Amino acid sequence: MKIFAETKYEGADDMAVTLVRATILYIIVIFLIRLMGKRQIGELQPSELVITMLVSEIASIPMQDNSIPILNSVVALFVLVAFEIISSVLSLKSHKIRSYIQGHPVIVIRNGIIDYKALKKLRMTVNDLVSALRQKDVFDFSQISYAIFETNGKISVLLKSEFRNSTAADVNSYPKDKGMQFAVICDGEIIEDVVRDSGYDLSAVKKLALTNRIPIEKILIMSVDSDGVAYIARKDDNG
């Protein structure tokens, strides 16, 4: 019975250690990812993708095995992110280094003609190209002027002029630009950073809410534009 109690205690102790180590690593990885920048996963350059994969792998090791010193993983994580930051700085300063690390965009359709050699260089089939174009909502090759595979693996498409959407400039019609909408209240809370970016102040935001006779804590979202026009959705309007 005593042995069972000791085993149970040791198991709880190990679980507590694992929880603490996981919390520490979670905080560190979040900090390091924020340090690397705000790119989305689909927009990562090859070097950034490699670093992201290694960071996740190294961070998981000490969570699986408590016998591994957590400091070893923390040092490795900081070294990897340091390499990424250094390579990013060097890429900004040198076109050659940037080309070596990130590669070059490759034109696969030029003036409406598929460049088969470029596809072979990318080790892609025509089916791969068709699939990538479909994801850009392009189904007709005859509409394409240029298609370029970017260094992050995504494809950019320039349609021929007759197939592009008309703009206000094309029809000489210029509606008033109301600027960007700023979500100054979300889920009953004033977002002070957004309020500052919007050009308003806290008193003006509160006055808008008061004018509409809605308590701030009852507002699901309130956005404002440069003309002072506010869109407000109540929490009770959305269940």
| Residue range 192-217, pLDDT digits in tens | 888 888 888 888 888 888 888 888 88
Q: Measure CA of the first residue to CA of the last residue in the chain; give whole Å.
A: 54
Grade residue 149 by pLDDT with cuts at 50, 70 and 90: very high
Whether 106-163 shares its CATH topology with 182-238 is answered yes
d(CA 178, CA 227): 7
Q: Which CATH number fits domain 106-163: 3.30.499.10, 3.40.50.300, 3.30.240.20, 3.20.20.70?
A: 3.30.240.20
Phi, psi of 59 (to 5 degrees): -65, -30
Q: What is the CATH number assigned to the segment(s) 182-238?
A: 3.30.240.20
If you count them, how many residues does the chain have? 239
Grade residue 143 by pLDDT with cuts at 50, 70 and 90: very high
Looking at residue 239, what is its pLDDT? 43
Closest CA to 184 of 234, 227, 230: 230
Give the pLDDT confidence of 33-73 residue by residue, as tens digits.
777 665 555 556 667 777 777 888 888 887 777 787 888 88
Contact assessment for residue 152 and residue 108, using Cβ atoms and an 8 Å cutoff: no
Q: How far lies 223's CA from each of 92, 139, 177, 193, 226, in Å? A: 37, 37, 16, 13, 11
Closest CA to 162 of 114, 113, 112, 108: 112
Looking at residue 9, what is its pLDDT? 47
Strand partners, 103: none
Strand partners, 109: 114, 147
Contact assessment for residue 89 and residue 48, using Cβ atoms and an 8 Å cutoff: no
Grade residue 14 by pLDDT with cuts at 50, 70 and 90: low
Closest CA to 180 of 227, 213, 121: 227
* pTM across the whole model: 0.58
d(CA 227, CA 127): 49
d(CA 74, CA 94): 30
Determine which helix (DSSP H) or strand (DSSP E) holds 141, and give its type and residue range.
none
How many of the other CB atoms lie within 10 Å of CB of 161?
Answer: 8
Per domain, the residue ranges of the chain are 2-99, 106-163, 182-238
